[in-house]
Structure 1
Amino acid sequence: MADSVRPEASMHILVLGAGVVGTTTAWYLQKQGHQVTVVDRQNQAGLETSYANGGQISVSHAEPWANPSAPLKVMKWLFQPDAPLLFRPRLDPAQWRWALSFLGQCTLARAAHNIRQMVNLGTYSCSQLQALREEAGIEYNHLEKGILHFYTNPAEFDGAMEPTRIMQDLGCDRQIIDADRAVELEPALKPIRNRIAGATYTSEDESGDARMFTQNLAKRCAEAGVEFRYGTEILSFERAGERVLGIQTLRDGHHETLRADAYVLSMGSFSAALASQLGIFLNIYPAKGYSITVPVKNEEAAFNVSLTDDEYKLVYSRLGDRMRVAGTAELNGYSRKLNYTRCRAIVRRTAEVMPEAGYWDQAEFWTGLRPATPSNVPYIGKSHFANLYLNTGHGTLGWTHSCGSAAALADIIDGRKPEVDFTFSGL
């Protein structure tokens, strides 16, 4: 392990949440010489939103949900139970506040601004991940074969041209290609060759198992001295003025107050409720996503290049002898109950795209709550509390942005300017 960079004043820092974002945050903080404790209600790292996500490290997946075409699509999908983006109206002020803010982000100017934020953070994060992977020597079924976006709807392909141009201007090498080149890059798409209107390909994008990464990194963190307090529910903050004094927790039926010099909030969709106890408003709402994990049936028919099916909002990642297909978003509160209509829709579409690739009847279903902001841009930085920092709200790109977010936040905590052009919260 490389020598840690020691800050002038080493602190004890509590990281709230042991998903991919919280665990990478712990890694970078301990590298800079801090004493770190990670608190999570699960009995292992990476067991909530990081458990079975899409698996893509995708700088090219930077077009925000909020764009000029979104409002009409959402209206069209309102009564379609298997729609890619499903809004279920509830008597929930947080949901409506989020939705109105989302509409405000659907302009050309806001979409272009948000693309810039996500591409810059994603590019930086990928370089940090590559360095971390080399240093820590962890395995997570990663592939460096790029990501191919394919379009079976000509209007969707046409709509991707302007966001692609913006990404190219920002240094993201997202190439526009035709159907023949798409099938050449990924022969598994041959069954639908005649239906592909066009595609884009970003060779520098990657894929891998986010849960395996998170859990293996947690082991490396523990070896480096990070303490993980699993099975610990975070109940509330203890405060004095504009400073956090501790967190109230519940573990094995016993209440305990945990204290530190500083705190990092990385609790995904549950960050907003906890922050509200301090009067901090985080416009984060859970976007319930689904995935299927399927054993490979026919190696020749299965994909190796990570794919994005933009019309259906699905991403495909190869994880050894398994295939992971994930996507769709349901804005319908905090329930994690499986909606089998939406699960079966993913199976139906993927079996249609590559019928011989997998044992589709053996698909394992999963659902998780992605912490979505209306802009798709996360909260990273210092809150107005002197010793509380934010690293949350990454939506569908927590895996993509985790290392860059964590490295940048560690710099902010140590009073350094991060090496990425990004608008940090509270700075």
Structure 2
Amino acid sequence: MKTVILGGGVIGVTTAHYLAGAGHEVVVIERQPATGLETSFANAGEVSPGYSAPWAAPGVPVKALKWLAMKHGPLVVRPHADPAQWRWMAEMLMNCTEARYRINKARMVALAEYSRDCLIALRAETGIAYDERARGTLQMFRTQKDLDGSAKDIAVLKESGVPFEVLDRAGVVAAEPALGLVSDKITGGLRLPNDETGDCHMFTQRLAELARERGVRFMQSLAIHRLVNEGDRIAAVETSEGKVTGDRYVVALGSYSPLLMKTVGIRVPVYPVKGYSLTLPITDETAAPVSTVMDETYKIAITRLGDRIRVGGTAELDGYNLSLRDGRRRALEHSVGDLFPRGGDLSAASFWAGLRPMTPDGTPLIGATRYRNLHLNTGHGTLGWTMACGSGRLMADLLSGRAPDIDPAPYGIGRGH
């Protein structure tokens, strides 16, 4: 059986790796000249199962108004005359209830925990290296109100059996010593000791090389135009260099998945939410983060990647616009400069933006469609890196006829939104 995977980001490449390991013939089609050059390229670097939570949460509509008014707020909405944008926002608001939040977070944590275990196993099997660290994630609160607001997340962590530590100011500094320089700005923290960090782009490219050794064929610099259906099956994918055929097709195109799926009449509830990052060289290791610090006030993650600091954040609803905005850069600079003023060289930082494929409920779409040989692996939002290995393994198990290690039903397109 020949499986054609559309998309060469971290989701497509992990899917290819696991399918090849199960004995499948695999072809990956990617429009860029190499793998991992779009949303996988410079994300925040977190592999954070414990921090897996939907953006749709109780109180978020009120918080959103505050964020929109903040100077360095985490949310930017640029309205478009696009029904998809307004429908996505309406569906997200419908998920901002306590009941929906608990269901959605539990689903996300289950997949993310499984994915982290798959990543550990893959690392042991292959020896792959990607500036990885297993030093946990620290959610840092500047105010008592934010610390008190973590109670609902802690309740779900308890239910899911995810280890956590609630820290006072001294505990935060013990976990991240460089924050001792600015301890007056800290109220407390929530630490998730089992979380990891790593360079997603480096991982994706190195895993692609391992997949090639397993026989996976990568067709790069190839634009994907549309799917061609015959009755209840897909017959081919039309590309810039003609049609490519297979027995099965997996759409792993991130934010661009809805555009392709429209060509065969399927609505995919995914919308692009732009995020930005800075990558700066470390100038003083003692003043740099040990792992990942999430600045809860600004929703900005500050991560140690080898000899670099990666700063990622912002949720900007602006369609497929990838332009770099100076205001967003200043927001990232403010957070890292405020918490780690001597850690890195901001003047040497590179600035980047990517589109996160967000579903209204935060949970990705993994599984079959109404076409019997067309499958989805998309909609991971900010958690593509966190959920990649688990999503790839789940997809490979489903296509191989094996019973998956986790229940696939919560991730199907028909689960309701």
* 2:182 counterpart (179, 192, 215): 192
What's 2:328 paired with?
A: 342
* 1:133 counterpart (104, 108, 123): 123
Matches within 5 A, 1:7-406: 11-80=1-70, 82-250=72-240, 255-406=241-392
Q: What letter is aligned with 1:15?
A: I
Contact 1:289 1:368 (C-alpha < 8 Å) held by counterparts: yes
Alpha carbons of structure 1 residues 79 and 186: separation in structure 2 relative to 1, 3 Å: closer
C-alpha deviations, 1:20-71, integer Å up to 9, x for none? 0000000000011000000000011000000000000001112211101110
Compute the displacement of 1:78 (Å).
3.3
Alpha carbons of structure 1 residues 353 and 81: separation in structure 2 relative to 1, 3 Å: closer
Compute the displacement of 1:303 (Å).
1.2
The separation in 2 between residues aligned to 1:249 and 1:64, in whole angstroms, is 34
Contact 1:81 1:342 (C-alpha < 8 Å) held by counterparts: no
What's 1:424 paired with?
A: 411
Compute the displacement of 1:249 (Å).
0.3
Compute the displacement of 1:426 (Å).
5.0
The separation in 2 between residues aligned to 1:63 and 1:44, in whole angstroms, is 31
Of residues 152-161 and 212-221 in structure 1, the stretch that sits farther from structure 2 once superposed is 152-161
* 1:411 counterpart (390, 397, 406): 397
Could you say what secondary structure the match of 1:235 adopts?
A: strand
The separation in 2 between residues aligned to 1:343 and 1:426, in whole angstroms, is 35
Segments of 5+ residues of structure 2 without an aligned counterpart are none
The separation in 2 between residues aligned to 1:337 and 1:397, in whole angstroms, is 22
Could you say what secondary structure the match of 1:189 adopts?
A: helix
Compute the displacement of 1:172 (Å).
0.9
Contact 1:315 1:327 (C-alpha < 8 Å) held by counterparts: yes
Compute the displacement of 1:323 (Å).
0.5
C-alpha deviations, 1:138-174, integer Å up to 9, x for none? 1100001111111102222111111122112101112
Q: What letter is aligned with 1:194?
A: D
Could you say what secondary structure the match of 2:76 adopts?
A: strand
C-alpha deviations, 1:367-392, integer Å up to 9, x for none? 00000111110000111110001100
Contact 2:275 2:355 (C-alpha < 8 Å) held by counterparts: yes
Could you say what secondary structure the match of 1:60 adopts?
A: helix
Compute the displacement of 1:80 (Å).
4.9
Q: What letter is aligned with 1:182?
A: V
Compute the displacement of 1:77 (Å).
3.1
The two structures have a TM-score, normalised by structure 2, of: 0.97
What's 1:7 paired with?
A: none
Cα-Cα RMSD: 1.2
Contact 2:365 2:413 (C-alpha < 8 Å) held by counterparts: no
Contact 1:50 1:210 (C-alpha < 8 Å) held by counterparts: yes
Q: What letter is aligned with 1:13?
A: T
Contact 1:289 1:330 (C-alpha < 8 Å) held by counterparts: yes
Contact 1:78 1:88 (C-alpha < 8 Å) held by counterparts: no
Could you say what secondary structure the match of 1:300 adopts?
A: helix
Contact 1:147 1:306 (C-alpha < 8 Å) held by counterparts: yes
Compute the displacement of 1:418 (Å).
1.4
Query: Which structure shows the higher helix fraction?
Result: 2
Of residues 287-296 and 83-92 in structure 1, the stretch that sits farther from structure 2 once superposed is 83-92
